[in-house]
């Protein structure tokens, strides 16, 4: 572990400057009290007081390879010594190599990549390309989804984070999610929502399949609850899309690059989307990078056409060098395989917590991508805090989040779901450390639960 040097005065100054001059995302500015981070290594980061935190969130579920991986840092330094930046019209070794490597690790015939600065821009371009390719304008997206904060991506987003940006871009239609724990269709058997095809077919009946360019979905829903689709769901969506000439866009920004124990989450169900979007784990966020990768038919179609899309930093050499190094490290160190091997341990330990704590209504996840849904009552499945809760209504989960942070565990919560998403390189000992802290503080949630 790196030497941790303390400087509390500097830490206080950093926080004061941040609160005065930085506009923070998704936050009430006067309520912000950020941790001044002095350094990080592996699965931990620390502040200027020398307090260490076990990163059970991989920051924003993106630092998959862990903090300060020496090979990844060295690759960035090496690229910086050769070439820091160059325009998108040029060809660079890191960009070309990364595009080739992505074609090797993505499923099926996904082969051509457009690079972006992050996931939102990848989704923007996927929507634009789908409309252009099909000549149709409607996009079907799910309610419990998040696709980014730019204009088109936030419109495709289903959760309330889109409200301040409305009315947004035209042509976005909603569908329900395969949320088997609290299905919006009320759990008929078989459920037309959770099996996918019947629900989508009915929407197409009302909207006109000939007007729909694409269905965009998070393969495994991320911040909106770590919702894993039941077996058969993605296959049925794929079949409906194929039948009607509709493209399937898989948003793998959070679930891709080993997070679910496979290179991409769609690999769990042997489904090949027409377009896959990615970011976060593509290089663990060391330098901002996203990508949109398309299948051969789209790639061949676009080759002799003018692509009306571009970004000043598309395929930035430093970002792509980090991406190349990341994929090489994943292969050399068996990181995807490790994530898969850790999955049974995650499940076993989290289910033990559920046996002890009546506030846990459901445990769900894959690989190193897990969620605990907290409830007031297991029988009624009433959420511990309401949907889109804030202020006092969100207090039970807010108290839990503060308690784990005080104990040196950093994790994400979203309404009534606790997300357990550490770096893919987490060890069994570190997992046990985090679980022990969770076990301790879940008593706070139990106090608000009816059992």
Angle at 446 between CA 45 and CA 384, to 5 degrees: 85
pLDDT at 186 over 90: no
Mean pLDDT of the residues in the chain:
96
Give the CB-side neighbour count of residue 116, counting CA atoms within 13 A: 22
Domain spanning 8-68+335-447, CATH architecture: Alpha-Beta Complex (3.90)
Please choose, from the candidates 236, 253, 153, the residue with its C-alpha nearest in 3D space to the C-alpha of residue 198. Answer: 236
- Which has the closest alpha carbon to 18: 3, 41, 37? 37
HSE at residue 207, side-chain half, CA atoms within 13 A, is 25
pLDDT confidence tier of residue 419, bands split at 50, 70 and 90: very high
HSE at residue 414, side-chain half, CA atoms within 13 A, is: 21
Quick one: pLDDT band at residue 268, thresholds 50, 70, 90? very high
Residues 295-302, mean pLDDT to the nearest whole number? 98
The answer to whether residue 192 scores a pLDDT higher than 90 is no
Kindly give, in sequence order, each residue whose CB lies less than 8 Å from that of residue 371, ignoring residues fewer than 6 positions away.
Answer: 225, 226, 227, 363, 364, 365, 417, 418, 419, 420
Secondary structure of residue 214 in the 3-state scheme: strand
Average pLDDT over residues 422-444: 97
Backbone angles phi, psi at 116, to 5 degrees: -130, -175
Residue 414, H or E segment: strand 412-414
pLDDT average, residue stretch 321-341:
98
| Whether pLDDT at 451 is above 70 | no
Predicted confidence band at 193 (pLDDT cuts at 50, 70, 90)? Answer: confident
Residue 319 has pLDDT above 90, yes or no: yes
SS3 416: coil
Residue 280 CB burial class (10 angstroms; 0-12, 13-18, ≥19): buried
**Is 8-68+335-447's fold the same as 70-333's?**
no
pLDDT over 70, % of the chain = 100
**Looking at the chain, how many residues does it have?**
451
H helices of 106-262, where?
Answer: 119-134, 151-156, 197-207, 233-244
Q: Bridge-partner residues for 221, per DSSP?
A: 227
pLDDT, residue 189, reads 75
Residue 33: exposed, middle, or buried by beta-carbon count in 10 A (0-12, 13-18, 19+)?
exposed
Could you tell me which CATH class the domain 70-333 is placed in? alpha beta
Question: Tens digit of pLDDT for each residue in 195-234?
Answer: 999 999 999 999 999 999 999 999 999 999 999 999 999 9
pLDDT band at 188 (very low <50, low <70, confident <90, very high): confident
Whether the per-residue pLDDT at 287 is higher than 80: the answer is: yes
Asked whether 175 and 145 are in contact (CB, 8 A), the reply is no
Contact 424, 43 (CB under 8 A): no
Residue by residue, DSSP assigns 413-451 as EETTEEEE---TT--HHHHHHHHHHHHHHHHHHHHT---
**Domain range annotation of the chain:** 8-68+335-447, 70-333
Highest mean pLDDT out of 23-37, 173-187, 261-275, 378-392: 261-275
Residue 7 CB coordination number (10 Å):
15
């Amino acid at each position: 572990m790196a030497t941790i040097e303390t400087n509390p005065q500097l830490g206080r100054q950093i926080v004061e400057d941040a609160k005065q001059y930085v506009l923070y995302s998704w936050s009430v500015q006067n309520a912000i009290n950020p941790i001044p981070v002095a350094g990080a290594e592996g699965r931990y980061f620390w502040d200027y007081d020398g307090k260490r935190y076990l990163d059970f969130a991989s920051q924003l579920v993106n630092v998959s390879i862990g903090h300060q991986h020496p090979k990844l840092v060295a690759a960035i330094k090496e690229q910086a010594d050769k070439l820091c930046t160059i325009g998108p019209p040029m060809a660079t070794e890191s960009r070309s190599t990364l595009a080739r490597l992505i074609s090797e690790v993505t499923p099926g015939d996904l082969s051509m990549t457009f690079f972006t600065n992050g996931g939102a821009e990848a989704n923007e371009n996927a929507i634009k390309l789908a409309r252009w390719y099909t000549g149709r304008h409607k996009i079907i997206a799910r309610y419990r989804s998040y696709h980014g904060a730019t204009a088109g991506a936030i419109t495709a987003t289903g959760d309330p984070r889109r409200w301040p940006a409305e009315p947004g871009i035209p042509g976005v239609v909603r569908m329900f999610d395969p949320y088997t724990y609290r299905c919006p269709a009320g759990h008929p058997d078989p459920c037309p929502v959770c099996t996918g095809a019947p629900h989508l077919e009915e929407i197409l009946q009302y909207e006109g399949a000939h007007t729909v360019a694409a269905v965009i979905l998070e393969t495994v829903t991320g911040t909106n609850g770590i919702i894993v689709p039941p077996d058969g769901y993605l296959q049925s969506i794929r079949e409906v899309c194929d039948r009607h000439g509709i493209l399937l866009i898989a948003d793998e920004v959070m679930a891709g690059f080993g997070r679910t124990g496979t290179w991409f989450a769609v690999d769990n169900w042997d489904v090949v989307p027409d377009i896959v979007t990615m970011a976060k784990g593509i290089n663990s966020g060391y330098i901002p990078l996203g990508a949109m990768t398309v299948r051969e038919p789209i790639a061949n179609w676009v080759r002799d056409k003018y692509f009306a899309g571009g970004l000043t930093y598309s395929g930035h050499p430093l970002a792509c060098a980090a991406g190349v190094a990341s994929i090489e490290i994943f292969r050399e160190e068996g990181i995807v395989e490790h994530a898969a091997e850790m999955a049974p341990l995650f499940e076993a330990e989290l289910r033990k917590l559920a046996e002890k704590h009546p506030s846990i209504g459901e445990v769900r996840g894959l690989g190193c991508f897990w969620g605990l849904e907290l409830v007031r009552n297991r029988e009624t499945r009433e959420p511990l805090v309401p949907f889109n809760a804030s202020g006092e209504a969100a207090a039970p989960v807010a108290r839990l989040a503060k308690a784990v942070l005080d104990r040196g565990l950093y994790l994400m919560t979203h309404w009534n779901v606790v997300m357990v998403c550490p770096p893919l390189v987490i060890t069994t000992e570190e997992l046990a450390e985090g679980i022990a802290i969770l076990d301790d503080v879940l008593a706070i949630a139990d106090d608000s639960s009816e059992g």
